[in-house]
Amino acid sequence: MTRTSTSQRSTSTIRVPEKIPVSLTVNGVEAQLRVAPWTSLLDTLRDHLGLTGTKKGCDHGQCGACTVLVDGRRVNSCLTLAVMKDGAKVTTIEGLATDGTLHALQQAFIDHDAFQCGYCTPGQICSAAGLIAEGKAKSADEIRELMSGNICRCGAYPNIVRAIQQAMGQS
């Protein structure tokens, strides 16, 4: 992106930042991208890589729909700049199943009917994968507390907790 003749009307030219090269390994596949510095990881996944499983809810870190795993840790991709994650390994909902077999959490969400509209579900499942990897939640109370960054407007919370308990029992 560069300003051309239109900027000549002004004596001071606005410097539009160059796009910056970023290397990401997303679901095991390395991607070389060029993004503007303000591009969130969420927009990078959805708009640059076509991975629309990760959802944009609030875009302010309040709903958790955009949760993905970066280097194994769950984060809000809407509050993450892609340029800051150069070299990182990212796992999205599209990367959880292996060889056509659903991840234990995906199967558990189906088994327990842990969603209605499904919009928050990719974030819920990625967040739950992070939760299980962290290993801090044992009781249902602890699961609820450590999943509080993922909002479900349909109110499927009781079934989400049961689904996570089932997957934890298998891990």
Residues at the interface with other proteins (CB under 8 A): 14-17, 20, 36-38, 40, 59-61, 64, 67, 73-76, 79-81, 83-84, 127, 130-131, 134, 136, 139, 141-142, 144-150
The nearest distance, CB 104 to other proteins, in angstroms, is 19
- Dihedral sign, Cα of residue 28, residue 49, residue 37, residue 64: negative
User: What SS3 string covers 108-123?
Assistant: HHHHCCCCCCCCCHHH
Provide the minimum distance between the beta carbon of 35 and other proteins in the complex, in angstroms, as a whole number: 10
Residue whose CB is less far from other proteins, 37 or 111: 37
Q: Across-strand partners of 69?
A: 74, 91
| Of the candidates 145, 164, 58, the residue with the CA atom closest to the CA atom of residue 104 | 164
Closest separation between CB of residue 107 and other proteins, Å? 23
Amino acid residing at 170 = Q
Residue closer to other proteins by CB (options 16, 154) is 16
Our CB check for other proteins shows the closer of 110 and 148 to be 148
Helices 157-170 and 104-111, packing angle to 10 deg: 140
CB of 100 to other proteins, least distance (A): 29
